[in-house]
Structure 1
Amino acid sequence: MTLGRDLRAKLADAVKAPGSPSSDYDLNRDVNLAPGRVLRPAAVLLPIEIADTGPRLWLTRRSAQLRHHPGQIAFPGGKRDEGDVDLVATALREAEEEIALPRRSVEILGALPCHETVTGFSVTPILGLVTKPFTPRCEFGEVAEVFSVPLHHALDEGRFVIEGRMWKGVRRRYYAVPYGPYYIWGATARILRSLADRVAL
């Protein structure tokens, strides 16, 4: 399929493009971060599937019962476990656990620069193409919903907005890229913005 080949080439070029790490603090320069802070390694998968209506990106809505980022829109992913050989393995394992995406059905294209979260993680976004149809299924207790959005929407710079809310008594600004009933914001939107800066669809 020409669309698939063209998209793969664009995304493969995107992960090779130069870029700096991003952070939940990018829009809040008044925050003083400790230079010696230790961040926990984590990874997320950006699973992109070629559908009849065009390429789509799979996302999750996290359970409202989770300690970190409850109810937020997120990529499948999580912290690195001791048994993970690398962060690609982390992203694939988490995607298989959270949304039932078989790791053998994902072609890894590469990694984007790390993203630091307010919860103390250094998250490596792994870009992957879903090469076989799969039936998404939520991991009980962690994922409330699995859904997909058009990739063109998620990577359209014109759809990104900068908004703010109170956090620990201070107003913090962040990126958001809403889609229908889904409010995509925070780290997820920031990582998407990093990808949007690198690829034109």
Structure 2
Amino acid sequence: MTSGSPDPYRGRRTGATRAVGRRRGPLALLPLAVAAWALLEIWLLMLLGQAAGGLTVFLVLVAGVLAGALVIRHAGRRAWQRLAAQARGTAEPGTRSPAGGGVLTMLGGLLLMLPGLLSDVVALLCLFPPTAKLIRGSAARAVERHTWPVGPAFRAAGEAGRRMRHPDGRVVQGEVVRDDDEPDEDRDRRP
């Protein structure tokens, strides 16, 4: 039964349909990639179970959780010690870790804790020093290259850090003295 009046909602795009229409590019495929990753992990665990048995799969999963917890614990302890040393002012220049080293170690520990063989391989790539260095370099280049909100801030922080350091790597301590155009009477009143 129709009333003869046109449907006011036909042909009109609501906010939800506009958001779906705009969602293009690599982030639009993220849910599909996560589902494919999970299916691949389950399939690999089933293959391992058929080849070595269910107890082996269980032991591999438990070992991954324990190893990941130890890695995260160790990385957290190192980060806390570095932070405490910097707060005390006793941090030595040689003990400084590369940028993103703690984050990559934490990510590796988290991936070890996730059930699955593929995530364990990616975790070991994050923890193995040569591949971790490659990952850190490529991530830094990606952040610098893209125009994300983080990109300009990342570049500005890097430039500010380079400006504040002495050529031999030491931080130059100093004080900012401003010589503004103050009236002479205000300058004379100061103690």
Bigger RCO (CA 8 Å, 6+ sep): 1
Q: Which has the larger radius of gyration?
A: 2
Per the TM superposition, whether the score is higher than 0.5 is no
Query: Greater helix percent: which structure?
Result: 2
What is the TM-score when the length of structure 1 is the normalising length? 0.22
What is the TM-score when the length of structure 2 is the normalising length? 0.23
Query: Greater strand percent: which structure?
Result: 1
